[in-house]
Amino acid sequence: MRHPPPAARPLHDLRTGLASLLTILSVLMPGANGSPASAAAGEPFDPEAPPETRYRLAPFLTFGAEIELDYVFRRNPDLDRRRADDASLLSPELSLAWSFDPAPAFQAFLNVALSRELVLAEGVAGAGASEDVALEVKQAFVWLRPLPGGLSLQVGRMRFEDEREWLYDEELDAVRVGYAQGALAVEISASRDGLVRKDVLSTNERERINNYVAHVSYRLAREIELEGYVIVRDDRVADRRRPVFFGVRSRGEPVEDLDYWLDVGYVGGRDGPSRLRGWGLDLGATYELQVGPRPALTLGFAFGSGDPDPEDGLDGNFRQTGLQENEADFGGATSFKYYGEVLDPELSNLAILTVGIGIRPSEKFSLDLVYHYYLQHRASDTIRSGGLDAQPSGRSRRLGSEVDLVVGLEDIWNRVDAKVVLGYFLPGAAFPGNAGDAWVVGAEVQVRF
């Protein structure tokens, strides 16, 4: 979990930032007009990271703020050209953070965000502003680190994130205990999403899924890391779903300029009356040449098993944890959906071949062109958690292919990060013969103060 160290600045430097923040409040609140700026810093650009607390308000107390503007346009998400279902959405967000650090071993952290979704166009209905305003407590925790013997303790709402977000990227209410000594690190936690209501303006029913995580990592060499984990998700409401995830993973740089990743996972437990028995893997590598614009080539393959017999009470479909985001970078300035910006599937009953070519002429700019080919393991009429509204026919395994273009800008004027994505999905024989292609155009801009 990454929290940028606070950097002290005089209090009068805060005035310029606060004045800029006020300009977007009229857009964030219902009935207002306008178009805001944006927020957040990451390395590479991480839209979900909290603001850097770079302004000193009082001894040991620092403050930070970000504005984020997220725009997405989806064309033909149901793959049916006869039906107008294009949609565009603009989401401004103001994020504020405070960090109290009276001693090196103690931190109290608070991150709140005010956001609103603006529906600019939706199907044949045209544009209309949504009244959905959210005031979220994203993080609120106390962290004791490190305690004697290499222990640490974190209590409250905190971000759970792994490097490729293959397991999780979520803010959870948790108790987390860590141990680190030399090359070995161990972490165990118990958590729930929204144990205390996350959006203080919402009256929606909260989840009742308890999460139990045990994670061990060992740095085998300076650039090679091995990990193992067990994750139990206990749904207390819906038919006592209780999937159990086991896995091993590795990542690192075995030779100069070559980065690899490997995830191997198995899911057991139960989903209501069905027993779960599925497995999956994701492996790949990026090689970057240190010449000119630093061209890079990425090759990847991901596989999640399917179910050969839906009627036997044994579900062979691999599935991810439900907390994942499947976002990472291929050595560029920004992360993106590495299974495709349009299809954006969960790795279940699916094989994905990925080829990426990227350049990074400077530390602040990168461009990636990524191709995906999708094939179901077992022909099925469903895609688990996909980004499309359409479902396949179940008569063919060939879902189709996708090409994504990703542009990343990082740390412009020491305050601005941005990315632009363009995704194009061409359906395969698994969809009806009249299925049309689908597009996604997205942009995220963040300004930190």
Residue-wise pLDDT for 336-360, tens only, equals: 999 999 999 999 999 999 999 999 9
Give the pLDDT confidence score for residue 202 in this predicted structure.
Answer: 84
Give the pLDDT confidence score for residue 240 in this predicted structure.
Answer: 78
pLDDT of 172-203, one tens digit each?
999 999 999 999 999 999 999 989 999 998 88
- Residue 248 corresponds to which tokens in the numbers above? 């091993």
Residue 404 near residue 336, CB atoms below 8 Å: yes
Give the pLDDT confidence score for residue 26 in this predicted structure.
Answer: 35
pLDDT of 243-283, one tens digit each?
999 999 999 999 999 999 999 999 999 998 899 999 999 99
From residue 357, alpha-carbon distances to 184, 285, 330, 370, 443 in Å are 35, 12, 9, 6, 20
- Report the C-alpha gap between 417 and 111 in whole angstroms: 19
Residue 62 near residue 56, CB atoms below 8 Å: yes
- Report the C-alpha gap between 442 and 72 in whole angstroms: 4
Percent of the chain with pLDDT over 90: 75
Report whether the peptide linkage leading into residue 77 is cis, meaning its omega lies within 30 degrees of zero.
no
- Report the C-alpha gap between 155 and 157 in whole angstroms: 7
Give the pLDDT confidence score for residue 284 in this predicted structure.
Answer: 98
In 10 A of CB 25, how many CB atoms? 14
pLDDT of 119 over the 60 cut? yes
pLDDT of 154 over the 70 cut? yes
- Report the C-alpha gap between 397 and 418 in whole angstroms: 36
Give the pLDDT confidence score for residue 131 in this predicted structure.
Answer: 59
Residue 315 near residue 276, CB atoms below 8 Å: yes
- Report the C-alpha gap between 79 and 433 in whole angstroms: 10
Give the pLDDT confidence score for residue 130 in this predicted structure.
Answer: 57
Give the pLDDT confidence score for residue 17 in this predicted structure.
Answer: 40
The domain spans of the chain are 11-448
Query: What is 11-448's CATH topology?
Result: Porin (2.40.160)
pLDDT of 28-43, one tens digit each?
333 333 333 333 334 7
The Cα angle at residue 249 between residues 246 and 253, in degrees rounded to 5: 175
pLDDT band at 147 (very low <50, low <70, confident <90, very high): confident
Query: What does the longest C-alpha to C-alpha distance in the chain come to?
Result: 69
End-to-end CA distance of the chain: 22
Percent of the chain with pLDDT over 70: 88
Name the phi and psi angles at 316, rounded to 5.
Answer: -90, 5
* Mean pLDDT score across all residues of the chain: 88
What sign does the dihedral 24-341-408-406 (CA atoms) show?
negative
Give the torsion through C-alpha atoms of 316, 321, 327, 330, to 10 deg: -60
Instruction: Supply the pTM of this predicted model.
Output: 0.87
Mean pLDDT calculated for residue range 393-413: 95
Give the pLDDT confidence score for residue 48 in this predicted structure.
Answer: 87
Mean pLDDT calculated for residue range 390-401: 95
Mean pLDDT calculated for residue range 48-54: 92
- Residue 416 corresponds to which tokens in the numbers above? 């601005």
Give the pLDDT confidence score for residue 221 in this predicted structure.
Answer: 79
The Cα angle at residue 251 between residues 248 and 253, in degrees rounded to 5: 155
Give the pLDDT confidence score for residue 433 in this predicted structure.
Answer: 83
Residue 297, Cβ density class (10 Å: 0-12 exposed, 13-18 middle, ≥19 buried): middle
Mean pLDDT calculated for residue range 365-389: 95
- Report the C-alpha gap between 299 and 141 in whole angstroms: 39
